[in-house]
Amino acid sequence: MYISIDSQLVEINPLVLTRDNQLIACDAKIIIDDNALFRQQDLEGLKEEAEDNELEREAHRRNLAYVKLSGNVGIIGNGAGLVMATMDEVKRAGGAPANFLDIGGGAKKEVVQNALEIICQDRQVKGIFINIFGGITRCDEVAKGIIQATEGSPKGLPIVLRLAGTQCEEGRRLLRESALISVENMEEGAKKIVELIKR
């Protein structure tokens, strides 16, 4: 069952052995991988709507790994480890992450635009830190997506970007030309976005 329904967890707790040697599952919990629901369409309707909010549902529809948090610094990165390290660095700089948003590897400008649109819908967000390491992901593509997404953005949030890796020099050049704030490293970026939010 665990594998056949793409489970992340199948738990029986407690399992009771009766006096006549019968096993009874008194309670059970099953967690299905949301990213596998396309294979489990008969189970999708069973999902508890209360377990995520509208932004999380919209991000999922756009194939983004997004979790809403309670802070005011929007965070976008590529790779779960980098996003979590970015969140830690923002906290160390005195800020509070508003979300976890992983655009994944090889993200094109449309994915970055979708990510920014999701974050800009969160009224708690006062600024955004985008931290990209270009291995598969090309930094110039990310920069183009950010520039397109921020042109005419009604919210006018400060955005700080850190690009490193594949095509990062071209990405940084594009950002400089568009007057967006670009930094060299994660620590500098975290400090800068926290400073801009506190102004």
- Specify whether 91 is located in the same domain as 29: no
What residue numbers bound the domain in which 114 lies?
53-198
- Specify whether 67 is located in the same domain as 23: no
- Specify whether 58 is located in the same domain as 21: no
Name the amino acid, one letter, at 57. R
- Specify whether 65 is located in the same domain as 28: no
Give the per-residue pLDDT at 57: 87
- Specify whether 129 is located in the same domain as 192: yes
Which range (28-32, 43-47, 70-74, 94-98) has the least confidence?
43-47
Give the per-residue pLDDT at 104: 85
pLDDT at 49 over 70: no
- Specify whether 78 is located in the same domain as 34: no
pLDDT digits (tens, 9 = 90+) for 114-155: 999 999 999 999 999 999 998 888 888 888 888 887 775 556
CA atoms of 83 and 131, how far apart (whole Å): 8
- The reply to whether 79 falls in a domain is yes
The answer to whether the CB of 55 falls within 8 A of the CB of 114 is: no
pLDDT at 44 over 70: no
Indicate the average pLDDT of the chain.
87
* Residue 24 half-sphere exposure toward CB, CA atoms < 13 A: 8
The answer to whether the CB of 180 falls within 8 A of the CB of 162 is: no
pLDDT digits (tens, 9 = 90+) for 84-106: 999 999 999 999 999 999 998 76
Q: What's the average model confidence in pLDDT over 15-28?
A: 90
Alpha helices in 102-181 (DSSP H): 109-120, 139-150, 168-177
pLDDT at 1 over 80: no
Sequence-separated (6 or more) residues with CB below 8 Å from residue 48: none
CA atoms of 14 and 34, how far apart (whole Å): 26
Percent of the chain with pLDDT over 90: 47
Confidence of residue 36 (pLDDT cuts 50, 70, 90): confident
- Specify whether 157 is located in the same domain as 60: yes
- Specify whether 17 is located in the same domain as 104: no
- Specify whether 102 is located in the same domain as 38: no
- Specify whether 81 is located in the same domain as 155: yes
The answer to whether the CB of 198 falls within 8 A of the CB of 191 is: no
Higher pLDDT, 168 or 31: 168
Pairing of strands 159-165, 181-183: parallel
Give the per-residue pLDDT at 15: 87
- The reply to whether 2 falls in a domain is no
Maximum average pLDDT range among 15-19, 50-54, 105-109: 15-19
Cross-strand partners of 129: 75, 160
CA atoms of 146 and 142, how far apart (whole Å): 6
Q: What is the CATH number of the domain that holds 169?
A: 3.40.50.261
The answer to whether the CB of 24 falls within 8 A of the CB of 15 is: yes
CA 60: distance to chain centroid? 10
The total domain count for the chain is 2
